[in-house]
Structure 1
């Protein structure tokens, strides 16, 4: 099987023009690139904001590189007619457009879904937003933390002793939206293969977050609500462990592992229903046991008895664990400052993981080449575009900081 015919590169031959910035849109198109798509990232003259977000090494952001590895990067000034014309010409040769502006911005530029698909009916046009393209909340500014608060997600995480809601520090809404956007684009491409027609996709952060709270969503509809049992961190002598006796078999195994077979017969612990009612008591008993042991010992003993358990590890520890080398979980990416690790797509086809792009392109690194090879422009035309600022190449990067 050749690389192009492998399911791991199933999107080979698909061109994506990516007008998005920040996290959700770029991560979506990074995954499409991993699956074989040719992704052209179009940035404004000031560049994607993520290029300046830490971690930074010699001015290069590995955060940006993680989200954008494998893409070709060019810079256009869409406020200039010549820049807009170049964008339209790129789209004319594209299979997919991804954008993540506020609803209405792309239409105002003449790059909206209706206008582009009228000329290119096979185009798959994906819009990513905070609250959707057409609702009462559509024009509200939205980043992941705002959506976490507005969706009920933060309150579902719990609150402190003063009733202050928890706040998720990881931009989960962006990650989920990237995943759902990539999935919907691939579905739309299958539809196009069958019918010849593209489509318009509306994916947003709010709906994405709501889709990962099935228990909370259903519980909220009940007159008498029951909080989800929380598996809290258990203190060990040298760290923390998580123990999750979810089902009856797990509980029975737990009794054996902790040396308390008599717990099986206690009325407060006999079955799942009564255990939920006495959840705090069960968690306290488990922690009495973990406090007397090192975290590694807790994990070893409980795992050997079939009780789901994990020692709390830092990401630095995870990156160095042989488990992930065995799984081929990480890839090395190169940028102007050197190399760094990134995660690979979390699945394999016939034991073949989709390969991640080896480089994270500098700002405007591919502008010149794309203008010449993809749009067929000559030296004079390219020079004129660069001089006017309608297109920006890597050698002009100083303009963003002047």
Structure 2
């Protein structure tokens, strides 16, 4: 790849969002994943980076010059690197916005307004634009301008406290950026809805997506907790068991075994325990959960492997799953049948978008862009610039391309 326009990736002609152009000002996780979801569905997504690149470009491991972390969130996009403080560059970007269908940004409120690219300015120039702002706490309210990343939101939104309560454990950081991912899916849905509404009304919209609100909305225990639930729940993921089998492998079970103990007794051949006073009624089983757990855990150690466990419990309606890592999952026949993994560059693998359509070929559409890789082609195509003007902007530092070997 490179900045040579002849080396540019072809325009997308398939997918439900084919013909939709997206200007993506986002960085890190929530916004970039939203942009990738649109790209995977056929949209032409232009990633606009400042001269200081998206920080995730440096996240290890690097494969073929790309961060695998960055690639997962930016697959299939085109990329430009622009100094919005340069008046000509900012005006050129606004020209791109005027011809776009969607703009995504995840700065704190007001940042893009400093460059004349805020929602009011953009919608005045392009009333059909769907302008999506993703932020920690929303575009208004007393927390609007707080610095925010997903780990902070996990604390503020009640997720960490909820997880600790449900698992009867201390509050611990959450390693996965749930709030970012949840906001990305919500933003993608909201954008698609706004595009559909635009077809009826002819008008765009300013969408306000909050990581904190997405976290609260996506927490399955929000309703119970706000309605008075306290202590550990007897249902849900925290009530499941993780079994260790004879060969040292592990399997995860469905739900609370106090709810399914009769099925476990049948699978284990322990019918005599049905008449045990500790396990007769559901309330009794909940009170003696520790004994139930120990009975199942000790029995599991006598089962040689996962295949044997599945063969034993499946006839009794019990769902189990092998605890495995992603690399192992990618090598399963199921993953290959579903086309779970894309590999746009040798050794650089990421997940395809997780749905299929009978109408379109849906999936990752290519590698991520190198920093500033498409400066010339994008500014000539979408901002009415000549190659000579692009070269002049590059010479004075308004545009930038990654040095050889760096993305």
The alpha-carbon deviation at position 4 of structure 1 amounts to: 8.2
SS in 1 for 2:134: strand
Distance 1:213 1:365 in 2: 39
Distance 1:87 1:290 in 2: 61
The alpha-carbon deviation at position 271 of structure 1 amounts to: 5.2
Q: CA 1:236/1:158 → structure 2, altered by over 3 Å: closer, same or farther?
A: farther
270, 286, 295: which is aligned to 1:276? 286
SS in 1 for 2:303: coil
Aligned to 1:294: 304
Distance 1:89 1:170 in 2: 37
The alpha-carbon deviation at position 54 of structure 1 amounts to: 1.0
The alpha-carbon deviation at position 371 of structure 1 amounts to: 1.4
SS in 1 for 2:218: coil
The answer to whether the 8 Å contact 2:48/2:80 transfers is: yes
- TM normalised by structure 1 equals 0.89
Q: In the alignment, is residue 231 of structure 1 matched against residue 240 of structure 2? A: yes
Unaligned runs of 5+ in 1: none
How many correspondences in the alignment? 391
366, 370, 381: which is aligned to 2:378? 370
Aligned to 1:183: 189
The answer to whether the 8 Å contact 2:86/2:398 transfers is: yes
After superposition, give the CA deviation of every residue in 1:170-226 in whole Å (9 maximum; x if it has no partner): 11111111111101000000110111111111111111111222324423432x635
SS in 1 for 2:186: helix
192, 197, 204: which is aligned to 2:198? 192
The alpha-carbon deviation at position 159 of structure 1 amounts to: 7.1
The alpha-carbon deviation at position 330 of structure 1 amounts to: 1.7
Aligned to 1:312: 323
Distance 1:278 1:353 in 2: 51
Distance 1:244 1:162 in 2: 19
**1:352-363 alignment to 2 at 5 Å?**
354-363=362-371
The answer to whether the 8 Å contact 1:295/1:311 transfers is: no
After superposition, give the CA deviation of every residue in 1:250-301 in whole Å (9 maximum; x if it has no partner): 5443221111234444454445554334333322221121122234132442
Of the structure 1 ranges 96-105 and 157-166, higher mean CA displacement relative to structure 2 is found in 157-166
SS in 2 for 1:17: strand
Aligned to 1:386: 394
Aligned to 1:90: 96
Aligned to 1:138: 144
75, 79, 89: which is aligned to 1:73? 79
Of the structure 1 ranges 269-278 and 349-358, higher mean CA displacement relative to structure 2 is found in 269-278
Distance 1:174 1:52 in 2: 19
Aligned to 1:110: 116
Distance 1:272 1:366 in 2: 63
Q: CA 1:200/1:79 → structure 2, altered by over 3 Å: closer, same or farther?
A: same
235, 241, 247: which is aligned to 2:251? 241
Distance 2:268 2:326 in 1: 29
Of the structure 1 ranges 153-162 and 67-76, higher mean CA displacement relative to structure 2 is found in 153-162
After superposition, give the CA deviation of every residue in 1:111-157 in whole Å (9 maximum; x if it has no partner): 11112112211110000011111112111111111111221211222
The answer to whether the 8 Å contact 1:177/1:208 transfers is: yes
The answer to whether the 8 Å contact 2:240/2:256 transfers is: no
The alpha-carbon deviation at position 164 of structure 1 amounts to: 3.1
219, 237, 240: which is aligned to 1:213? 219
- TM normalised by structure 2 equals 0.88
**1:331-346 alignment to 2 at 5 Å?**
331-334=342-345, 338-346=346-354
Of the structure 1 ranges 137-146 and 259-268, higher mean CA displacement relative to structure 2 is found in 259-268
SS in 1 for 2:221: helix
Unaligned runs of 5+ in 2: 1-10
The alpha-carbon deviation at position 305 of structure 1 amounts to: 3.1
Of the structure 1 ranges 272-281 and 169-178, higher mean CA displacement relative to structure 2 is found in 272-281
The alpha-carbon deviation at position 307 of structure 1 amounts to: 0.5
The answer to whether the 8 Å contact 1:219/1:226 transfers is: no
Q: CA 1:161/1:121 → structure 2, altered by over 3 Å: closer, same or farther?
A: closer
SS in 1 for 2:80: strand
Distance 1:265 1:12 in 2: 63
SS in 2 for 1:108: helix
The answer to whether the 8 Å contact 1:241/1:311 transfers is: yes
